[in-house]
Chain A
C-alpha cells in the first residue's frame, strides 16, 4: 500500500516535470534529435548525472530501502543482442512519432488526442511481446526471433 502511494507521488512529480519541460511536444523532441536545440540533451544529461550521483550515494550510505526495508542494491546487466535490436526498433518509432513511453502518457494527461493512437499501438506492442514470450517458453525452436525474446528477461527488473 505505502509503496503504491509513494510510486504514484513519484509519478505525479515525473508527469509535471515532463509536461512543464515540453516533452509532450513532438517538436521539442524532434529539434533535439536534429541538434537544432540543445535542450533535450541538456535535460536528459542533467537527469542522468543527478540519478547517477544519487544512486552512488545510496549505495554507500543507505543500506536499506525506507519503505520496504529491502537491502538496496542491483546487478549490472551484460549487453546482449536484444538490447541493440530492441532499442533500434524503438528508435525508429521514436524518430518518426517523436515520443517515447513517458511523453505518450503525458500527452494523454494533457488531453493531446494524438497520444491515443500511439497508446493503442503501445498496448498492442506489449501484448504481442507477451505472446512471443509465451511461444518461446512453449516451443523455442519453432519461434522466430527466439534469441532476442527470451521467455524471462533476467536483469530487467521491470521488464
Chain B
C-alpha cells in the first residue's frame, strides 16, 4: 500500500491542511522556497540557527527519508524523459548540466516571483492573493508549453 500512489483525494487535502496548520499555529505562509531561502541565507551568514522555515525544509527532507525507509526506494528508474533521451557517460553529464541549469532557473525565478508551487500556488491562492493567481497561471502555462515543446522534439 505504501508503494502505490496515495489517492489524490487523501494526499491533496493533507497538503492543504499543512498550509492551514502553518497559519493557525504561527500565522505564516507555508512555502518550500521560504525554507530553502532560510537555510541558504543562514548558512551564508555562517550560522546554523535556522528559523521555522528552515526547520520546515529539514522536516520535509526527513519526511521523504522516513517514507523511503518504510516504503523502500523510489518506484521509478532513471529520470523521466532525460534518461530516455540521453544515454551513456556523455548523456549523464549532459543530464547533470541540464538539471543544474534548471535548478538555477527555478531558484532565481521563484525568488523573483516571491513563491513557488507551494508559496504562490497553494498558500497564496488560498489567501486569495491576486499576485499568486497571476504567478500560478504563468508557471502552469510556461511549464505546460515547455513540456509540450519537449514532447514534440523527442517523439
Contacts and interface: CB of A to CB of B under 8 A. Distances in A.
B127 A74 contact: yes
Contact of B122 (A27, A51, A78): A51
Chain A interface, >50% SS class: helix
A144 interface: no
Contact of B95 (A20, A114, A130): A114
A71 interface: yes
A70 interface: yes
A95 B143 contact: yes
A149 B112 contact: yes
A107 B76 CA distance: 12
B32 A105 contact: yes
Interface in A118-137: 118-130
A125 to B, nearest CB: 2
B73 A8 contact: no
Interface in A44-67: 44-55, 58, 62, 65-67
A121 B97 CA distance: 9
Given A8-B55, A91-B138, A96 B60 contact: no
Interface string B111-127: 11111111111111111
A15 B146 CA distance: 27
B147 A90 contact: no
Nearest to B110: A90
Given A48-B126, A79-B134, A118 B99 contact: yes
Given A18-B60, A159-B119, 8 more contacts: A6-B52, A25-B75, A46-B13, A47-B12, A97-B99, A99-B106, A119-B103, A156-B115
Which 4 residue pairs spanning A and B have beta carbons closest together?
A: A125-B107, A121-B103, A11-B59, A15-B63
Interface of A: 3-22, 24-28, 30, 33-35, 39, 42-55, 58, 62, 65-68, 70-74, 76-80, 82-102, 104-112, 114, 117-130, 148-149, 153, 155-159
24 contacts: A18-B64, A20-B6, A21-B5, A22-B5, A33-B147, A34-B144, A42-B9, A46-B9, A48-B16, A48-B121, A51-B19, A70-B27, A84-B134, A86-B110, A92-B142, A100-B117, A102-B116, A102-B118, A106-B60, A109-B61, A109-B64, A123-B36, A158-B33, A159-B115
